[in-house]
Structure 1
C-alpha cells in the first residue's frame, strides 16, 4: 500500500539525515531534527527543479511567462509535491475517509482516477471542490503501483459498478489525472461507453511523455512516446464525449503537445505544473464547467 511505503520512506529519510547531522556535525538533537526536516524538503525541491530542467530541454512551443509567473508556477508545483507525497498520501485514511455516495436523479456521479505513483489521496482538495458544487464523487486507488495499465481496467470496472449500485445512476463521469486518464481510456476500449456519460482528463500523456523513459514499471514503459500500447489505445478507443484539460507548461508530460487528444475538446491552461493541477482553482473551475452539460455544450 502506497501510504505505508511513503511513511516508511519518510521515517527512514529522517533517520538518515538526523544520523548524519549527529555524527558528522555534532549537532544537538533539535538541530539534527531541523536538519532532517530540511533534508526532506530539500530533496523534493531538487526533484521538482530537475523536472523543470528536463522540461526546458524538451518542451513544445509554449506561451512565455514572466519571471514572477514562472517563480509562482514553480513554487506551486513544489508545494503540491510536498502536500501530496509528504502530508496527505502517507496518511490517506486520515484525510480521505470513505467516499460519500448518495443518489442524485439530476447528475451522474463522478469517478476520480489518480495518476502514476499516486493514490486516491491525490484528489483530497479537488473532491472537496466538486462536492461543494453538489456533485457526488467517488475515488479509487490503482494498485499495484508499477504494473500494466491494462491491469487497472478490472478494478475501474468494479468501482464503476459499485458507484452505480450505491447511487442508482445509470452512468458515471470519469475524470482522470495523468495516467488516470489513460486507465479510463483503457477501460473504455475494453468495455465501451455504455456506463460512462463523458470523460475528462487532466494532464494526461495521451501520446506519452519523454519523462516516462526514466519511470519504474510496465506502466511507465507504456507511457513512453511511440509505445505499442499507446498505438493500440489510439486505434481502438470508442467515440465518447471527451474534454482534455492540460497545462502548456506541464513539467511531467514532455513535450506538452503530447497532452492533446485528437477528436476531443482540448483546453489549455497556462502557468501550471503537473501535480499542482489537482490543487488549482483554475483547473477546478474548468472541470466544473466541463461536468455541466449546459456549459459543456456551449463550449464545444
Structure 2
C-alpha cells in the first residue's frame, strides 16, 4: 500500500479514537480508563489480524520436518515477531517510508566485487519499499548495490504491477551500467518477478530469489482484497497460467515452514523447476527483520 494511503488510514483511525475519547470524557467517563480503552482497541485490532492468520495455519499447514520444529516457546516468539512486524511495518516504516528508507544509492559503487549484478527488491501485497528498511542496509553492507521499488496501484492486477518493475530495472541499469540485475521478491513480490519474466523475458535478469512467496497461492488469500489478492487464491486461473511458463533463469524459493500467511507452506512454496530452501521459526512479516533469512539470502546470492 502506498505511504499516502497508509497515512490516511492511520489519520482516520486516530480521528475516530479521538472523537470517541472526547465523547466519553464529556459524558463523565474517566479519562484514564477511556484512554486505556483506546490503546486496547488500537493494539487489539492488530492482534486480531495476527490471530486470524495463525488460525488459518491450524486449518491448512503442512507437517513440519523434525529438524525445523521450534516448540511452544518458538511459536510464542514467532507470534510476537509477527505482531511486532505488523506494528513496525504498517504503523511506522511504510506510512513514513521516506523517513525510514532514504533514496536508493545507485551512484555509489558496491564496496566489494562491483562486477556482481545489482539487486532489485520487490515488496509484497499491500506494502511499499519501506518494507526493506532493515534488510536493504545489511545487503549494502555485504557488498551489494541495492534498489527498491513501490508497486502501484496497490490492488491492481499483478501483470499491471510488472510495469513498475520494468521501469525500475531500466533506471537501475542506466545508473550502474549493469547488463543484468537480480530480483529479490518477498511474498507477492516473487509472483511479480515471475510475471515480469513471462512478459519481458530474461535478457535483463540474471536470477530470482523469493522470500515467502505463494508460488501456488495461499488459503489466506481468500480474505485478500483487490485483483492481485484474488490472483493468489489457490487454483486461480492466473496462477495456473503462470505455472505453465518455464523458468528462464535460476530461481530460489526461500520459505518458512511456519509461515502464517502462505499455506500450506511447502505445497505453496516449492516451485517446480526451482531450488527450494526451507527454514523454520520465522513468521511471514518476520522475514523483513530476520537474521536467519538474511544469512540464507546472502548464502544463496553468493
Same fold (TM over 0.5): yes
Name the SS for the 1:90 alignment partner: coil
Q: Is the 8 A contact 1:178 1:201 kept in 2?
A: yes
Give aligned pairs, total.
Answer: 292
After TM superposition, give the deviation of residue 132 of structure 1 in Å: 1.1
Q: Is the 8 A contact 2:100 2:130 kept in 1?
A: yes
Q: What's the CA shift string for 1:62-89, capped at 9, x where partnerless?
A: 2443111110010011111110000111
In structure 2, what is the equivalent of residue 62 of structure 1? 64
Counterpart in the other structure of 1:13: 13
Question: Which residue number corresponds to residue 120 of structure 2?
Answer: 111
TM-score (norm 2): 0.92
Q: Secondary structure at the match of 1:243?
A: strand
Task: Measure how far apart 1:220 and its partner are.
Answer: 1.1
Is 1:98 matched up with 2:82?
A: no
Matched, 1:285 2:287: no
Equivalent residue, structure 2, for 1:131? 140
Residue number in structure 1 paired with 2:274: 264
Q: Which residue of 2 aligns with 1:296?
A: none
Is 1:276 the counterpart of 2:286? The answer is yes
Contact 2:187 2:214 in 1 (8 A): yes
Question: Displacement of 1:111 after TM fit?
Answer: 0.1
- Choose 85-94 or 54-63, whichever is displaced more: 54-63
Question: Which runs of 5 or more residues in structure 2 are unaligned?
Answer: none
What are the superposed Cα offsets for residues 6-50 of structure 1, whole Å, 9 maximum, x if unpaired? 122222222323333443474565654454333222211111011
Seen in structure 2, the aligned counterparts of structure 1 residues 259 and 28 have a Cα distance that, compared at 3 Å, is same
Task: Check whether the contact 1:148–1:219 (CA below 8 A) recurs between aligned residues.
Answer: yes
Structure 1: distance between partners of 2:228 and 2:260: 19
1:142-221 correspondence to structure 2 within 5 Å: 142-221=151-230
Alpha-carbon distance in 1 for matches of 2:33, 2:95: 25
For the residues of structure 2 that align with 1:80 and 1:260, how far apart are their CA atoms? 25
Q: Assess if the C-alpha contact under 8 Å between 2:118 and 2:146 holds in 1.
A: yes
- Specify whether residues 96 and 242 from structure 1 end up closer, same or farther in structure 2 by C-alpha distance, changes over 3 A only: same
User: Cα–Cα, structure 1 residues 31 and 135, in superposed 2: closer, same or farther, change >3 Å?
Assistant: farther
* Runs (5+) with no aligned partner, structure 1: 293-300
Structure 1 residue 155 displacement after superposition: 1.4
User: How far apart are 1:184 and its partner, in Å?
Assistant: 0.3
Rounded to whole Å, the distance in 2 between the matches of 1:4 and 1:36 is 24
Q: Which position in structure 2 is the counterpart of 1:2?
A: 2
RMSD: 1.7
Q: Secondary structure at the match of 1:61?
A: coil
TM-score, normalised with respect to structure 1: 0.92
Q: 3-state DSSP class of the match of 2:214?
A: coil
Structure 1 residue 232 and structure 2 residue 241: aligned?
A: yes
